[in-house]
Amino acid sequence: MKTDAPDRGTATQEITADICVIGGGSGGLSVAAGAVQMGASTVLFERGLMGGDCLNYGCVPSKALLAAGHAAAAARKAGRFGISLPAPEIDFSKVHAHVRDVIAGIEPHDSVARFEELGVRVIQAQATFSDARTVTGGGVRVRARRFVIATGSSAMIPPIAGLDSTPYLTNESIFDLTERPDHLLILGGGPIGCELAEAYRNLGADVTLIEAARLLGNEDEEAADILRAHLTEIGVTLLEGALVKETSGAGRTVRLGIEQDGLRRQIDGSHLLVAAGRSPNLEGLGLEAAGITFGRSGIEVDAGLKTSNRRVYAIGDVAGGLQFTHVAGYHASVVIRSALFRMPAKADHSAVPRVTYTDPELAHVGLLERQAREQHGEKLRVLKWPYQENDRARAERATDGFIKVMVLKNGRVLGATIVGRNAGDLIQSWAMVIARKIKIGTIASSIVAYPTFGEIGKRAAGSFFTETLFSPRMRKIVRFLAAFG
């Protein structure tokens, strides 16, 4: 990395680098760490907290909170195993401390100090393009061979009357609560809404979840039904097909005016969480000055994640499409191959798994059943196996759920949906099956340890051959061969 003395009598420092990364979330940090360790001079801009949304406001704190909720739920359900426990006493300030402790344990890995030790020049400021090859911020002007925009996304705030004057939480503020909400109103029935509805209900709060359409509308309907039943069973009030028309409130009271089935009514709560989608973080980037095309959904990129400015890549949430931490990390590997090694690298999203981390979990990869039927019609076979038929699930009293695998008649796997205990771990093998184009017969003939939840997938795969193996034709063949001794 070359650093020149300031010129023209200004206080701006001039830096020339191979790679300039804008955004210190999972994707940006992966690019910066990989690039600098491969010998590329690297500059990283981050205007907020290192680690981005995932570490500070998303994956890490939400899973820590869910774990606390699951511990409370396990205590309540211990009687199923012949164990009598008193009702759990929840000290929410200590739950909050647990969440902060988990974040603190991971922070050093994403810290400014670590990246500076690696050799990255970290600038804690907003980065703005001043032209197609230059970014400025924090008193520094960076001219780089390649740029990577990895600024992520933030909670989308819907245009609801009164919301701008109503106190509300998003994923960026809800984990700061040190007191448990008395009644949490959640706007949005996607993965974030469902996860936090379960967590806070398990931790003793009253919870009402409002969804304009259908709960987990982007997921398999049957799988969503399992999760709907679970949330209802633990006491979450679900309002689907409900539109929030206006909001009001102050202090510890929030009021929502909703319309459902043509009827208007009001709902009061102590706190409101807005979890109605995500918006790309584009503000302040100066994309027009760099000739970068963008829209409401994010920065437009090609298959290689390049923007309309061929020196600039966009990865992760800001590039639209799938908004997951693991996708941002995958994008980073694509950019490294392209930007550093000039290899023809393209992003392939056909085998990206996703998980909703409730209990039961809901996981999916590839095509949903409805998508597979639309594309392949009569060529499709849907294999299904219930958790109830799995011995490990019975031993753990976790029999709610199933696996569903979408397969062509030639054995090619198109997608898999799992709802049930450990679904997020089980889906990984199916992501590999789809990515590597492994046929269903390979799964059916594999040896799986007993008793494990993994047997569910093997049994589903084996059912692909049931009709052939136990057909009248096969019985005739066996009897014919038996005649020869």
Rounded CA gap, 259 and 243, in Å? 5
- Reported as a pLDDT band with limits 50, 70 and 90, residue 481 is confident
* Mean pLDDT value across residues 473-485: 77
Q: Which residue intervals of the chain bear CATH 3.50.50.60?
A: 2-50+111-155+279-341, 163-277
Q: What is the pLDDT of residue 408?
A: 98
R_g (Cα) of the chain, nearest Å:
26
The model's pLDDT over 210-244, given as tens digits with 9 standing for 90+, comes to 999 999 999 999 999 999 999 999 999 999 999 99
Q: What is the pTM of this model?
A: 0.93
Instruction: Fill in the amino acid letter for 308.
Output: S
Residue from 208, 197, 202 nearest 90 by CA? 202
Q: What is the pLDDT of residue 477?
A: 79
The tokens of 47 are what? 């205007």
SS (H, E, C) 62-85: HHHHHHHHHHHHHHHCHHHHCCCC
The tokens of 48 are what? 């907020």
The model's pLDDT over 453-474, given as tens digits with 9 standing for 90+, comes to 999 999 999 999 987 767 777 7
Q: What is the pLDDT of residue 468?
A: 72
- Reported as a pLDDT band with limits 50, 70 and 90, residue 450 is very high
The model's pLDDT over 76-131, given as tens digits with 9 standing for 90+, comes to 999 999 999 999 999 999 999 999 999 999 999 999 999 999 999 999 999 999 99
* Mean pLDDT value across residues 314-335: 96
Question: What kind and span of H or E run contains 280?
Answer: strand 278-280
Distances (CA, A) of 231 to 183, 206, 417: 15, 12, 19
- Reported as a pLDDT band with limits 50, 70 and 90, residue 482 is confident
Number of C-beta neighbours around residue 163 at 10 A:
20
Residue from 198, 258, 263 nearest 228 by CA? 198
Q: Which residue intervals of the chain bear CATH 3.30.390.30?
A: 354-469
- Reported as a pLDDT band with limits 50, 70 and 90, residue 343 is confident
- Asked whether the predicted pLDDT for residue 11 surpasses 60, the reply is no
Rounded CA gap, 60 and 102, in Å? 7
The tokens of 426 are what? 């089980």
Query: Could you confirm whether domain 163-277 is CATH 3.50.50.60?
Result: yes
Rounded CA gap, 381 and 364, in Å? 17
Architecture in CATH for domain 2-50+111-155+279-341: 3-Layer(bba) Sandwich (3.50)
- Reported as a pLDDT band with limits 50, 70 and 90, residue 8 is very low
The tokens of 11 are what? 């206080």
Residue from 115, 109, 125, 110 nearest 45 by CA? 125
The tokens of 415 are what? 């997608």
The model's pLDDT over 375-417, given as tens digits with 9 standing for 90+, comes to 999 999 999 999 999 999 999 999 999 999 999 999 999 999 9
Q: Which residue has the tokens 């999916």?
A: 364
Average model confidence (pLDDT) across the chain: 95
Please give the CATH number for the structural domain made up of 354-469: 3.30.390.30
Burial class (CB in 10 A: 0-12, 13-18, 19+), 296: exposed
Q: What is the pLDDT of residue 60?
A: 97
Residue from 36, 15, 7, 85 nearest 332 by CA? 36
Rounded CA gap, 248 and 239, in Å? 19
The model's pLDDT over 167-220, given as tens digits with 9 standing for 90+, comes to 999 999 999 999 999 999 999 999 999 999 999 999 999 999 999 999 999 999
Which residues are CB-contacts of 434 (< 8 A; sequence separation ≥ 6)? 350, 351, 365, 366, 413, 414, 415, 416
